[in-house]
Each structure stands twice: as structure tokens, then as C-alpha cells.
Amino acid sequence: MLKTISFIDFKNFNIGLHEYYKEKCFKEGKPTRTPNVNLVELSNQVALKLPFVNTLVKTYLFYSKPDIFLMKDTNVKKEYEYLDGYKRAGFCRRVEGMLIARPNKGYDYKTMDINDPNTYSKEEKQTDINIAVNLLEKAYTNAYDIALILSVDKDLIPALKVVSAIGKIVIVAGVEGQIISEEFIECVDMRIKLTDKTFCECAPKRYDETSNEF
């Protein structure tokens, strides 16, 4: 049986998810709420759709930890706490990068205002490197036969080329409507389109953040 590991770039996936439901709302002419998706279950559902006898051995979730300034933003803090909750999920490992606030032109760190997004910009660091390192490390240690990538970020192309060259199967799952470059397509063996049907199969689950009991 082939071993599958899922690598989820949360920011890339989340952008695609919100754009998909925004477009769905526009086409249907009625409010459509973006659902909460259990990312571990999403990996399981996609693995089940593969034309191979395989087992999903682990899901790696990549995201960025906001700095102290950005944690003042209620929405940013809430999203981070949601992602941090996956530490209680089985067969899932979180890999954190950094989300840093930088002052925009005409401002400095003292005059940045969390309530005024014109005063600062957000810079994500390490996520692409973290994904690439894990892809390569686990490929060379034969931790997986199939790399299931939930991202269409072209920065992953160099790592995907190496993974493919050493004989691993590379599959990318993208939200319907996401744009994937030709060079990215050349690195993968199969593409899977994610739609509302799949998301509805991935009911959210809140992992217990306090109990250590079985």
C-alpha cells in the first residue's frame, strides 16, 4: 500500500477558499457563507479520491504565527488560535512560520495602528521554506510515496521538481478557480479540483484544548 503525506499551505488554500465562495455568491445571487473546513478531514477525503490503494499517514499544516503587534487584531488572533488547536489533532503536525508587521511609508513602528491597515503591511516569512524542507526531507527518508500538495504557490516548484525526479508521485489539490502555472503543472502527476461538495464532507471539529485524559 502506498503511503501518502498531505502538505497544506494554509494561507494559499484559505485565499482560494474565500475567493471560491465569493464567486459562488456572485453567480447564485444570494449570500453564501464560507464554511469552516476540518483540514485533517479534507486531507482524508482527498486521499480517498486518489486512483491508488493508499493510506494517509500524516497531514502537515503550514501557517504563520503573528507577531505581538498583529495579535492585537481580533480576527488575526482568532485565526491563529484556530490553527493552533490542531495540536490536539491526531496524525497532524503543525509547522509555524512568522507573520510580521512592517510600517508603511510615512510611518514607523511607534506610529503603526492596528486599527488602521494603511499604517502597516503584513509579511509572511519561512512558510515556503518550511514546506520545501519537509517535502524533501520526507522524500529522501521514504516517509511517503505520494506527496499531496494543497497549494498552487509557484515558489514550491524547485522542491517539487526534485521530489518528482527521485520517483515520488506528486498530486496537487486546488480550490476550483485557483490559477496554476504551466511550470507547476509540469511538476505534478495529477490535479484534483476541490469544490463545495468536498468541503461539505469536511465538517469542522474543535479539538479539546485543555484535557489530557483519554
Q: For the chain, which domains are there?
A: 2-63+72-96+126-200 (3.40.50.1010)
pLDDT confidence of residue 214: 45
User: In the predicted model, what is the mean pLDDT of residues 154-176?
Assistant: 96
List Cα–Cα distances, 57 to 15, 21, 107, 147, in angstroms.
26, 30, 47, 11
User: Residue 150: how many CB atoms within 10 A of its CB?
Assistant: 26
User: Residue 182: how many CB atoms within 10 A of its CB?
Assistant: 6
Torsion of CA 115, 118, 124, 179, to 10 degrees: 120
User: In the predicted model, what is the mean pLDDT of residues 93-116?
Assistant: 95
pLDDT confidence of residue 27: 82
